[in-house]
Chain A
Amino acid sequence: MALKSKGFPNRLGIWGWLGGGRWGAERYLYTLHRLTGLGLLAYFLLHIVVTSARAFSDAAWSRAMSQVSGPFFKFGEYLVFLAFCFHAINGIRLGLVELGIAVGKPIEPVYPYRTSVDVQRPLALAALATAFVLAVIGTISMWSD
């Protein structure tokens, strides 16, 4: 598989993840899914440590929460919520697609080709719309205090 070749190296590297110059929508959903996943993971690892304060006492909990109650943290939590909305709903779409449910059946290809990308496009749009609605609910809820 990893055959040695003597040619000039020409892999796109991470630029290939970011689009490589092409503009397929699903490719950008994939990139965004990765970015939100990394953001959620970073937040989550810290979250475990911060929320463990409730295991010690109510005073420890209140102290921990005061430390993360500033505007920077509040905005960060809001971004985490938005990331969750996108990552979760797009994750449902990816689960359906990657288990072969939403990609359609094999067909006889007749030009112009209707690929699985076209078949799952309504699902992608519905997923984005749902994520948007959830984000709006969360925005109203979080910023209406």
Chain B
Amino acid sequence: MSTKFENITYRIRRFDPERDRTPNWEEYRVPYTAGMTVLEGLWKVKELHSPTLAWRSSCRMGVCGSCGMLINGKPRLACNTQIAELDSDTVVVAPLPNFDIIRDLVPELKPMFASHQELMPYVVREDVEEREHPTNEFFQSAHELEHYLQFTYCIKCGCCMAACPTVATDALYSGPMPLGQAHRYNSDTRDGGFAARKAILGGEAGPWRCHYAGECSRACPKGVDPAKAIQLMKRELVIDYLRLRKTKCPAKVAEKPTEVKRREGIPDAPPRTV
């Protein structure tokens, strides 16, 4: 079967902090097979040419978010990008921009995770006892789930942060991923942490430096649409400033049904084993 290319040239931004003062480009030629992803090509480079090439990868199926890189000018997941879709026999791979480079294609993601952590990306509730020792599930309708489900698909790959023009200059701006996830929890009816997050979101780390360039949503490999999350969050914060926001209590614990009668002839459940 003939393939689109015979060989592919990989042009990779290399940086070894112990040897190099600045990053530099290196080229490698690898054989191409049909259906080859950029990540598979990197393994070939490592096998055939440069055993010291470093990058992060894990699941190789687009769910772990480790292999975010700048591939032919756009931030993408290396495992999710077919070489054939790049329409070029040269694959230019660089580490994700807007993050410091630790080595080769490995970006320093700690600042992004620190911003994420500051915005409390978990359900915040006052009833600590129920959270620590749950008695039952929290009630949430399918309609309420729709309000935030899209934003739960985030795999924290950092592609949106690399695409954002504000993150390119502003170190205090939280960035699309932390803000998108803050909105994910603010719009979760089980959560009661809006006021706590507002303390950070109302200031310079908040969504106010987003000017809707939309690049984060274009770059996101999972369709999370962080740009939409940020605009929806701005709307909520403005409504809150104008004192028009209705404070809702977090979702209650679902009560066990009491008026249900068992139909005749249905056996009891087997005893619990745990």
Contacts and interface: CB of A to CB of B under 8 A. Distances in A.
A and B pair up: yes
Interface of A: 1-3, 5-17, 20-22, 24, 26-27, 30-31, 33-34, 94, 97-101, 103-111, 113, 115-117
A127 to B, nearest CB: 12
A116 B146 CA distance: 16
Nearest to A4: B111
A12 B213 CA distance: 15
Contacts of A111: 223
Contacts of B100: 5-10
Interface string B148-168: 111101000000000111011
Interface of B: 15, 17, 22-23, 73-74, 95-102, 107-108, 110-111, 114-115, 118, 146-151, 153, 163-165, 167-169, 171-172, 174, 187, 205, 210-215, 217-218, 220, 222-225, 227-229, 231-232, 234-236, 238
B28 to A, nearest CB: 21
19 contacts: A2-B111, A6-B100, A7-B102, A7-B107, A16-B167, A17-B168, A22-B163, A24-B213, A27-B213, A30-B212, A30-B213, A33-B211, A94-B212, A98-B231, A106-B150, A107-B150, A109-B225, A113-B225, A115-B218
A100 B231 contact: yes
Contact of A5 (B110, B165, B228): B110
Contact of B97 (A10, A17, A107, A110): A10
Contacts of A97: 212, 231
User: Which of A5, A16, A104, A113 counts the most B-chain CB atoms under 10 A from its CB?
Assistant: A16
Nearest to A28: B213
A131 B58 CA distance: 49
Which applies to chain A's interface (DSSP): helix, strand, loop or mixed? loop
B155 to A, nearest CB: 12
B151 A106 contact: yes
A84 B28 CA distance: 51
A24 B218 contact: yes
A11 B111 CA distance: 13
Nearest to A18: B165
B169 A17 contact: yes
A22 B15 CA distance: 24
Contacts of B164: 16
A11 to B, nearest CB: 5
B223 A115 contact: yes
B231 A8 contact: no
B80 to A, nearest CB: 10
Contacts of A5: 100, 108, 110-111
B107 A27 contact: no
A124 to B, nearest CB: 10
B234 A98 contact: yes
Contacts of A110: 223
B52 to A, nearest CB: 16
User: Which of B95, B96, B231 counts the most A-chain CB atoms under 10 A from its CB?
Assistant: B231
A13 B110 CA distance: 19
Given A99-B235, A103-B231, A113-B225, A21 B110 contact: no
Contact of A12 (B118, B168, B222): B168
B169 A109 contact: no
Given A27-B165, A109-B222, A103 B15 contact: no
Contacts of A104: 228
A21 B165 CA distance: 11
A100 B238 CA distance: 11
Contacts of A108: 146, 149-150
Nearest to A119: B228
A104 B150 CA distance: 12
A80 B118 CA distance: 43
Nearest to B236: A100
B218 A1 contact: no
Contact of B168 (A8, A11, A26, A103): A11
